[in-house]
Amino acid sequence: MTADLAVIGLGHVGLPLARAACAAGLTTLGYDVSDAVVTGLNGGRSHVGGVRDGDVAAMRAAGFSATSDAAALRRADTVVICVPTGLGADGTPDLSAVRAASRAVARCLRPGMLVVLESTSYPGTTEEVVRPVLEGSSGLRAGADFHLAYSPQRIDPGNRRFGVRNTPKVVSGCTPLCAKHAVAFYGRFVETLVVSRGTREAEMAKLLENTYRYVNIALVDEVALYCDRTGIDVWDVLYCAGTKPFGFAPFRPGAGVGGHCIPVDPRYLAAKAGAEGFSFRMLAAAHEVLSRMPAHVVGRAAGLLDELGTPPDRASVVLLGVAYKPDVADARESPAGPVASGLRARGVSVRYHDPHVPEFTVDGVPLARVESLPEALEGADLAILLQDHSCYDMTTLTRAECALLDTRGKAAGPRVTLL
């Protein structure tokens, strides 16, 4: 039995894509190397924030199944690769998952198949990494025997307004015919398609989107550092600047950046540029600023504890919100990690409260979790608001007996200190 689509990698990108395809009536199967993920999905359980168990049940009712057997890819007319692209131990791009997925597809590649890479990577990945693997193992040629395309994912976890269907999607192909087939495929369940000149342009567009945010977050963070030193209210500055109806896009300072994309994607761009003899000096400057922010928060916390007359080795601090953004369960690359590590290094007892994140490990050691917000506040000398989840009522936080360090600019009161 053939399938319209096979999704490789059933994580934060692949599972929402599979859900959208199923909802549009495409026969869809999923492949993942994790047996736990496969077993959970086939049992109707979701492991991805924003995809509910009920969504998985609806997918199953529409014929979706997950497998860890790569041979199932032979059944698909289109294969979309949605595997992670992270960093290695040395901080350089790690494309091992993309290469492994490409080898799996190559063993099942057949004439007429469409293969799409959605994983974020540096310009040239589709042509220089994926294509040689597919062609070398199969003997088939992209653009002649099969179709190869790149279409960067634009998943925004926690965004209830924009999803796969109504977010404009950039599509490209190794040849015009490849692009045409990719457009025909995505046009079945995405409302607006934007065709780029080639795969390198589409790959670069994705990196630019996230690098734009990276650099601008670094800018407002450095403005916050300057304002702190000079006694300027940075939150009032941001409010005033944000009233301009043109020429200014608001960003907010915080303890740092997190998630899979923002801290990682600019490193892909910088690494590729460096290999080609080009230096992105702005990226280096942004990285330096953002790397300082967790230590700045730790320093502010230590200063507040000193004002309270509480020695670090007798202090109890609770971190409020360890996810990387509001109302999501994803704590990857969260600045809460280095903040907790910095506080621990000073001898502070650190716990956390986050209804979305049941477990959080720092330096290989699980951080103690407090289930109840009132309990978390009652037992702390200092609370640090790292993420403004919608469940955090500012009145509750400001009326607590403990001091509050607010890194999100949401609270006000006599016991509140803003970043």
Residues serving a catalytic function are 261
Reference 413, options 376, 238, 225, 400; nearest CA is: 400
Q: What does the CA dihedral 123, 6, 70, 49 come to, rounded to 10 degrees?
A: 80
With a CB cutoff of 8 Å and minimum separation 6, the contacts of 28 are 3, 4, 5, 6, 7, 18, 21, 22, 59, 62, 63, 64
Pairing mode of beta strands 169-173, 147-150: antiparallel
Q: With contact defined as beta carbons under 8 Å apart, do 284 and 270 qualify? A: yes
CA distance 72 to 64: 13
With a CB cutoff of 8 Å and minimum separation 6, the contacts of 239 are none
Record the tokens describing residue 107, joined without a space.
């063993």
For residue 406, how many other CB atoms are within 10 A of its CB?
23
Record the tokens describing residue 314, joined without a space.
């007798």
Question: Which strand (E) or helix (H) includes residue 303?
Answer: helix 281-308
Residue type, 52: R
Reference 314, options 266, 388, 382, 234; nearest CA is: 382
Reference 265, options 329, 199, 213, 320; nearest CA is: 213
SS3 content of the chain, % helix, strand, coil (to 5): 40, 15, 40
CA distance 246 to 142: 45
Sign, CA torsion 215/219/222/228? negative
Q: What does the CA dihedral 273, 84, 198, 163 come to, rounded to 10 degrees?
A: -120
Place of tokens 């529409």: 62
